[in-house]
């Protein structure tokens, strides 16, 4: 009968607990009844309990906040709390290299954090990297976390990175749009915009990549608050955008700016709002070519590159159009994996390979910025 | 082409999603009509060589669904983390093929659609041999960045192939 005794028989008078496989249920009941043995059911369906426990375990191991950046699971998607905890851990573990800055607050009053990687100096020329501006593009925030750890791991033994940090600081904002990010985890996985509300409309949110002051409100953005590309009531209306604008202006010495999105496997330089080529088009194109080659060298992932408007579509009020017009010559945007098979729902197992290959491209850009001061 | 529309001549390589090394060359002509934007673009194509035979996998899937005690029901494929259980993989592949038809019917020169997710799928009991699935999918339109819910009824049989018998765009607030 394949009975599994959980409380084994001792002697008469003592109860016995037994797990009964389904096919043996009737025969066993018949046997017990025929012999006048009393029984009661403690658990109707053991499998159901086991399944439930599994889900609970999975859920709670996710909810448990990380204890160190060495035990942190980089190959899975994390909650905002886990990412913010990760940042604090990274700083605590590497106080001489990493610090955390609060550059503002989101619409729903969440802190906006930037990690600063610096080997010293005062207001050194700097590189800015951001991820998670569009909340549904989960591989970007996950890659940002990986980049942060990578910088810490390699800052001494990797010659390229070490030499970059000898001269420059790196700023990394992992979650540009925390309100949207939380919304993708609690309500709507496909949410893209911020969570700001606007009088006269029931619709929520502004596209943070149409809210910058570069060709603001022009073709390539929508003035309909219900649209995914709504540019907002005015440039920098979104606190998430304003915080970065203020930071960049106050810093005054940022030399390279990279904003990361997904998906499509593309590398862009400005402009998106106009078809007039940027003056530095040739140089940016050459850097892009090199960066894409470096990226592909790892896993053979294919990327295309070019200016936003010629490669994808016209888009106004975009991040790197503004940063370029501020004088940050090395302004780039990435669209990470994949090309549409999973799209925004990129399987977690692709997080690390994506981050690894993207890092190679980022290093090309950072090294170029280091070698071509301006 | 004056007074008719825009015709594109394409040379492309088809890659088997399940076997990256398996590729096949293809040429196609796509005509986007000038006037009525509600007609699907006209497509003609030729494939060099043959597509892989999938009879075995098709029959395994067919038998499995036919032998289910209760009609199949599932949601969120892939889930938020991009996972698809092995049992749901053929359901997802079927949706990708069927959504290809829906996408074709609704494409213009200014759209680029991808299947983003299956929100919900329900098997519909049938008296004949075919399998029928009622899907609610999300299409991602790249240019507008909109996520569009779409209902589609899909018929499939290992020998008869895929058919979309009904499809309709759903209101956006069906999501939030």
Q: What percent of chain A has pLDDT over 90?
A: 86
Residue B88 has pLDDT above 60, yes or no: yes
B81 contacts A77 by C-beta, under 8 angstroms = yes
* Nearest-neighbour CA in chain A from B117: distance (Å): 8
User: Given pLDDT bands bounded at 50, 70 and 90, which one contains residue A2?
Assistant: confident
Residue A105 has pLDDT above 80, yes or no: yes
Residue B92 has pLDDT above 80, yes or no: yes
**What b/e readout covers B30-49, taking b as 16+ CB neighbours within 10 angstroms?**
bbbeeeeeeeebeeeeeeee
* Nearest-neighbour CA in chain B from A246: distance (Å): 28
Among A70-79, A218-227, A312-321, B34-43, name the one with the lowest average pLDDT.
B34-43
pLDDT digits (tens, 9 = 90+) for B95-141: 999 999 999 999 999 999 999 999 999 999 999 999 999 999 999 99
Determine the Cα angle at A347 with ends A230 and A90, to 5°: 80
| A335 given a catalytic annotation | yes
> Beta partners for A101?
A114
Distance from the Cα of residue A49 to its chain's centroid: 34
Mean pLDDT of A316-323: 98
Residue A338 has pLDDT above 90, yes or no: yes
> Beta partners for B30?
B8, B43
Distance from the Cα of residue A142 to its chain's centroid: 4
Catalytic residue (one of A82, A137, A335, A350): A335
Contact between chains at A347 and B175 (C-beta distance less than 8 A):
no
Mean pLDDT of A327-346: 97
Residue in A185, A188, A343 nearest the CB of B176:
A188
CA distance A182 to A226: 20
Q: Where are the beta strands (DSSP E) in chain B?
A: 5-16, 19-33, 42-47, 73-77, 113-124, 131-141, 146-157, 161-169
Contact between chains at B116 and A341 (C-beta distance less than 8 A):
no
Contact between chains at A228 and B147 (C-beta distance less than 8 A):
yes
pLDDT at B112 (0 to 100): 96
pLDDT at A1 (0 to 100): 82
User: Given pLDDT bands bounded at 50, 70 and 90, which one contains residue A193?
Assistant: very high
Residue in A184, A185, A188 nearest the CB of B175:
A188
A316 contacts A220 by C-beta, under 8 angstroms = yes
User: Given pLDDT bands bounded at 50, 70 and 90, which one contains residue B176?
Assistant: very low
Contact between chains at B78 and A264 (C-beta distance less than 8 A):
no
Q: What is the mean pLDDT of chain A?
A: 95
pLDDT at A56 (0 to 100): 66
Would an 8 Å CB–CB cutoff place B117 in contact with chain A?
Answer: yes
Residue A3 has pLDDT above 60, yes or no: yes
**Which backbone phi and psi does A94 adopt, to 5 degrees?**
-140, 60
Contact between chains at A345 and B79 (C-beta distance less than 8 A):
yes
pLDDT digits (tens, 9 = 90+) for A4-61: 888 878 788 777 888 899 899 999 999 999 999 888 887 888 887 777 777 766 665 5
B165 contacts B115 by C-beta, under 8 angstroms = no
Q: Which residues of A touch B116 (CB under 8 A)?
A: 190, 343-345
Residue A129 has which token pair?
């990297």
pLDDT digits (tens, 9 = 90+) for A243-284: 999 999 999 999 999 999 999 999 999 999 999 999 999 999
Count of helix runs (H) and strand runs (E) in chain B: 2, 8
Query: Could you give the strand order of the β-sheet that contains B113-124, starting from the edge strand earlier in sequence?
Result: B73-77, B113-124, B131-141, B146-157, B161-169
Q: Which residues of B touch A184 (CB under 8 A)?
A: 80
pLDDT digits (tens, 9 = 90+) for A71-102: 999 999 999 999 999 999 999 999 999 999 99
pLDDT at A40 (0 to 100): 85
User: Given pLDDT bands bounded at 50, 70 and 90, which one contains residue B174?
Assistant: low
- Strand, helix or coil at A281? helix
Q: What is the pTM of this model?
A: 0.86
Residue tagged 């420059």 (tokens)? A168
Mean pLDDT of B34-46: 87
Exposed, middle or buried: residue B172 (CB in 10 Å: 0-12, 13-18, 19+)? middle
Q: How far is residue A111 from each of residues A88, A104, A232, measured CA to CA in Å?
A: 13, 6, 21
DSSP structural state of residue A278: P
């Amino acid at each position: 009968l394949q009975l599994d005794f959980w409380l084994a028989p001792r002697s008469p008078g003592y109860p016995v607990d037994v797990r009964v496989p389904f096919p043996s249920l009737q025969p066993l009941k018949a046997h017990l009844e025929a012999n006048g043995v009393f029984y009661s059911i403690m658990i109707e369906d053991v499998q159901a309990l086991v399944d439930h426990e599994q889900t609970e375990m999975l859920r709670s191991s996710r909810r448990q906040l990380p204890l160190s950046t060495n035990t942190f699971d980089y190959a899975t998607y994390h909650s905002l709390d886990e990412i913010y905890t990760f940042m604090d851990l990274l700083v605590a573990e590497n106080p001489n290299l990493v610090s955390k800055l609060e550059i503002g607050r989101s619409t729903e009053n969440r802190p906006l954090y930037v990690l600063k990687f610096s080997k010293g100096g005062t207001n050194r020329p700097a590189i800015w990297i951001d991820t998670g501006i569009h909340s549904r593009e989960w591989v970007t925030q996950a890659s940002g976390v990986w980049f942060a750890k990578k910088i810490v791991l390699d800052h001494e033994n990797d010659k390229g990175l070490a030499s970059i940090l000898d001269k420059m600081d790196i700023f990394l904002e992992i979650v540009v749009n925390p309100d949207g990010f939380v919304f993708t985890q609690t309500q709507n996985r496909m949410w893209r915009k911020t969570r700001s509300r606007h009088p006269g409309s029931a619709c929520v949110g502004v596209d943070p990549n149409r809210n910058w002051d570069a060709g603001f409100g022009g073709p390539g953005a929508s003035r309909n608050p219900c649209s995914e590309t709504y540019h907002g009531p005015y440039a920098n209306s979104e606190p998430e955008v304003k915080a970065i604008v203020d930071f960049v202006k106050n810093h005054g010495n940022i030399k390279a700016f990279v904003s990361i999105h997904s998906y499509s496997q593309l590398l862009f330089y400005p402009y998106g709002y106009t078809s007039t080529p940027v003056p530095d088009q040739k140089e940016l194109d050459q850097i892009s070519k090199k960066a894409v080659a470096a990226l592909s060298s790892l896993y053979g992932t294919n990327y295309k590159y070019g200016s936003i408007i010629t490669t994808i579509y016209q888009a106004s009020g975009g991040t790197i159009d503004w940063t370029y017009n501020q004088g940050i010559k090395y302004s780039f945007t990435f669209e990470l994996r994949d090309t549409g098979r999973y799209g925004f729902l990129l399987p977690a197992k692709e997080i690390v390979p994506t981050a690894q290959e993207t890092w190679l491209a980022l290093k090309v850009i950072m090294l170029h910025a280091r070698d071509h001061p301006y | 082409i004056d007074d008719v529309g825009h015709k594109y001549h394409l040379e492309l390589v088809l890659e088997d999603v399940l076997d990256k090394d398996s590729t096949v060359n293809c040429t196609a002509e796509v005509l986007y009509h000038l006037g009525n934007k509600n007609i699907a673009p006209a497509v003609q194509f030729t494939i060099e060589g043959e597509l892989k035979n999938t009879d075995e996998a098709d029959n395994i899937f067919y038998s499995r669904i036919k032998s289910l005690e209760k009609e199949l029901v599932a949601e969120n494929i892939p889930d938020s983390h991009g996972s698809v259980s092995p049992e749901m993989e053929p359901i997802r592949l079927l949706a990708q093929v069927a959504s290809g038809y829906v996408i074709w019917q609704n494409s213009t020169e200014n759209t680029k659609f991808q299947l983003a997710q299956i929100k919900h799928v329900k098997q519909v009991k049938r008296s004949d041999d075919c399998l029928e699935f009622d899907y609610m999918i999300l299409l991602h339109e790249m240019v507008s960045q909109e996520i569009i819910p779409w209902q589609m009824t899909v018929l499939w049989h290992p020998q008869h192939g895929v058919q979309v018998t009904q499809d309709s765009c759903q209101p956006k607030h069906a999501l939030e």
